[in-house]
């Protein structure tokens, strides 16, 4: 009970956290989980709690992204449970780590899964009272984050190295300021189901 109260307090004071809403399935057999908002570190613990609390049959995602490692962590949880995922409207950046973890991945009509190179936010510099904005630094191939993502993707794609390589290669080939779109037109090529 103490953990639940602490979790509720942390979430209620963190307005950047994803909202996670459970909705009963029409047939009364389980719930679907709608995850909306920024992906942040505390979302991993929240997802674990929600999945312990109710039988989730599918996950609907709507997020512009956030923390890479939080996305990978939530993806590992979803992958281990074999829950299908659905991109609704947009699932960009760190959200796609959650999306690809689905047992099956569904791109709903007019929705976009957006990939780009992960980046590191460099701290701004205070130089004699003037704030100098530092640019983002794109991650590089063969770095720790590259291999963390590659291993996670192989697990998510159930050992299909071809699909894992396609996603990782496309991410690292796309500048962090841009998005490569996976949508109805190319969903099948990337191991997703286009839904009309």
Residue 37 in this model has a pLDDT that exceeds 60 = yes
pLDDT digits (tens, 9 = 90+) for 44-92: 999 999 999 899 999 999 999 999 889 999 999 999 999 999 999 999 9
pLDDT digits (tens, 9 = 90+) for 115-173: 998 876 666 677 677 776 666 666 676 677 778 888 888 888 888 888 988 998 898 89
Residues 6+ apart with CB under 8 A from 125: 131, 132, 134
Band (10; pLDDT cuts 50, 70, 90): very low
CA 161, CA 150: separation in Å to the nearest integer? 9
CA 78, CA 158: separation in Å to the nearest integer? 12
CA 143, CA 140: separation in Å to the nearest integer? 6
Buried b / exposed e over 91-110, threshold 16 CB at 10 Å, is: bbbbbbbbbbbbeebbbbee
- Describe the chain by its helix, strand, coil percentages, rounded to 5: 35, 30, 35
Band (12; pLDDT cuts 50, 70, 90): very low
Tokens encoding 64? 């512009």
Domain boundaries 2-195, CATH class: alpha beta
Provide the residue ranges of all domains of the chain, joining segments of one domain with +.
2-195
pLDDT at 9: 38
Prediction pTM value: 0.82
Residues 6+ apart with CB under 8 A from 193: 104, 105, 106, 107, 187
């Amino acid at each position: 009970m103490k953990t639940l109260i602490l979790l509720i307090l942390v979430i209620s004071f963190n307005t950047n956290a994803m909202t996670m809403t459970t909705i009963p399935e029409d047939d009364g057999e389980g719930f679907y989980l709608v995850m909306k908002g920024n992906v942040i570190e505390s979302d991993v613990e929240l997802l674990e709690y929600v999945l312990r609390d109710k039988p989730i049959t599918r996950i609907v995602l709507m997020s512009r992204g956030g923390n890479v490692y939080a996305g990978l962590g939530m993806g590992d949880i979803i992958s281990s449970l074999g829950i299908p995922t659905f991109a609704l409207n947009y699932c960009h950046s760190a959200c796609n780590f959650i999306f690809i973890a689905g047992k099956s991945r569904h791109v709903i009509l007019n929705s976009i899964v957006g990939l780009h190179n992960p980046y590191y936010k460099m701290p701004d510099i205070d130089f004699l009272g003037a704030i100098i904005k530092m640019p983002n630094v794109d991650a590089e191939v063969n770095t720790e984050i590259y291999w963390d993502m590659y291993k996670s993707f192989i697990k998510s794609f159930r050992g299909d190295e071809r699909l894992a390589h396609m996603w990782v290669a496309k991410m690292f080939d796309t500048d962090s300021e841009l998005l490569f779109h996976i949508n109805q037109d190319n969903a099948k090529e990337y191991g997703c189901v286009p839904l009309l």
